[in-house]
Structure 1
Amino acid sequence: MDNSNTHIGKSIRLERIFNRITGRTILVPLDHGVSVGPIYGLVDLRETVNSVVDGGANAVLMHKGLIRCGHRGAGKDIGLICHLSASTSLSPRPNAKCLVGTVEEAIRLGADAVSLHVNLGDDAEIDMLRDMGRVCTDAAFWGVPVLAMIYARGKGINQYDPEVVAHCARVGVELGADVVKVPYTGDIESFARVVEGCCVPVVIAGGEKLDNTEDLVRMVHDSILAGGRGLSIGRNVFQADDPKLLVRVLRGIVHEDWELDQALERLKG
């Protein structure tokens, strides 16, 4: 295969996910149904996708079987990331992810990128790393970007420790990911060090549903100041009281460089 064609293919697909001017992105994962079932916000997929599209999200992320449920057939387009790994909360080892799809399947489904989840420190770490290596190799062949969700979830590990998060991000880069998703470390200075050690875009995870949406907005704002390239946040977006409004506010921060006070004021509606 012509390497130049592979390179341009990946560039074109990344441009559908990242804003060409800011180089940043707003990703909304909708893959939680495999883990926990049809939770609030993920029952009517078309309604959810419409909300985040109207708010200004750059891409949505979901498992291969859900793409047919979220496809709208009309309206403003949005980038699509096909998630390739899974586990369920019913498993005795919910942190052990396995591959449930391929890069080729994602291409046939119209995806612009693929993603997978790796939990460092878990007993199944070696298998997840092997899977990630294989996916990155296949994706590079086809010119498809890879988003790696890398967390540290082993026994006795603080997954928010800045050095641990930096290690997670570096693993993603070194195994071939084009975008790395990690937890926010809690402050601008420490997260800036995470970004400095990663030569590809770093986006933050949202984690568990927060009680205060203002805390989410502040976290996104601070991560951008630290050099982060955006967010990949699911539950805190699609389970918000007004997902469209929240995404619009996050877009103001990520793509329009809103100050925190301005974002919090607009959050009031």
Structure 2
Amino acid sequence: MLLGKAVRLERILNRNTRRTVIVPMDHGVTVGPIKGMHDFKGSVDRVAEGGANAVLMHKGMPRCTHRGYGKDIGLIVHLSASTSLSPFPGAKTLVASVEDAIKLGADGVSVHVNLGDERERDMLADLGMVCSRAAEWGMPVLAMMYARGPHIVNEYDPAVVAHAARVAVELGADVVKCAYTGDMESFARVVEACCVPVVIAGGPRLDDDAALLTMAHDACLAGCAGLSIGRNVFQHDRPELLVKALSRVVHDEWDVERALEVVRSGRA
């Protein structure tokens, strides 16, 4: 591994635990300025204060969020996009380059692929190209891999999730983001089929902190390298406390009840 890639990965993955808590904030392109997306710098402040390892956003937003104070936090620049206004919202297209991310001081880039979509072949070509280009610069690639298309019956099916995750590894991704299959045994098989770190997505917006912490706890026991959770974090009433609780589960192996006390009482 190039030294540059190793250094950048250590800004995304905790060098001691080799795990991570990433907070994606790329939703403004997909669905617009939803709750948590208006005061963007404030949202970054809160998740950084909570101890998140990295945030993920589109190339235009670092200029709005660079703080010059407070806790440091890794930056992943998202390279692909689509909007909910499109007749083909699942068809992601590249809107930025590895070089754009380098100029922004990013620690990694990310690409979104929806397997099963009618434009799957274009998204796979984009992922493969980005991985090749990023390798030349020593830039880590996080691949967001989902199974979403007209022939996908259940995107959480363990075999489908395992296939999606393995595609990312085969094409050169350094970190894979995928759906959680719902139980430790089946998700362990997903992780075992990948020779790079696997992180879980947060899924739809939840109003149950215990359920979110339980998912994080169980996924980590199954071998997961952490979380990449957006709306369930930045739309929370106290995102800094939720991130602290999630970080305790991910990095310190706290149980769910102990971590819940962080959110309930405000104690780190």
CA RMSD of aligned residues (A): 0.8
**Residue of structure 1 aligned with 2:105, choices 104, 110, 115:** 110
1:99 aligns with 2:94: yes
Is the partner of 1:268 in helix, strand or coil?
A: helix
Is the partner of 2:12 in helix, strand or coil?
A: coil
1:252 aligns with 2:239: no
Distance 2:120 2:209 in 1: 33
> Deviations 1:151-182 (Å, cap 9, x if unpaired)?
00011411100000000110000000000000
- Segments of 5+ residues of structure 1 without an aligned counterpart are 1-5
**Residue of structure 1 aligned with 2:156, choices 142, 155, 160:** 160
Question: How far apart are 1:265 and its partner, in Å?
Answer: 2.8
After superposition, where does 1:50-129 map in structure 2 within 5 Å? 50-129=45-124
> Deviations 1:2-30 (Å, cap 9, x if unpaired)?
xxxx7111000000111111000000000
Letter in 2 for 1:246: L
**Residue of structure 1 aligned with 2:239, choices 239, 243, 253:** 243
> Deviations 1:36-61 (Å, cap 9, x if unpaired)?
10110011111001100110000000
Percent identity, please: 66
Conservation of the 8 A alpha-carbon contact between 2:116 and 2:151:
no
**Residue of structure 2 aligned with 1:138, choices 133, 157, 176:** 133
Aligned length: 264
Question: How far apart are 1:241 and its partner, in Å?
Answer: 1.2
> Deviations 1:57-96 (Å, cap 9, x if unpaired)?
0000000001111111222211000000000000000000
> Deviations 1:208-236 (Å, cap 9, x if unpaired)?
10131211111001000000000000000
- Taking structure 1 as the reference length, the TM-score comes to 0.97
1:183 aligns with 2:179: yes
Aligned to 2:30: 35
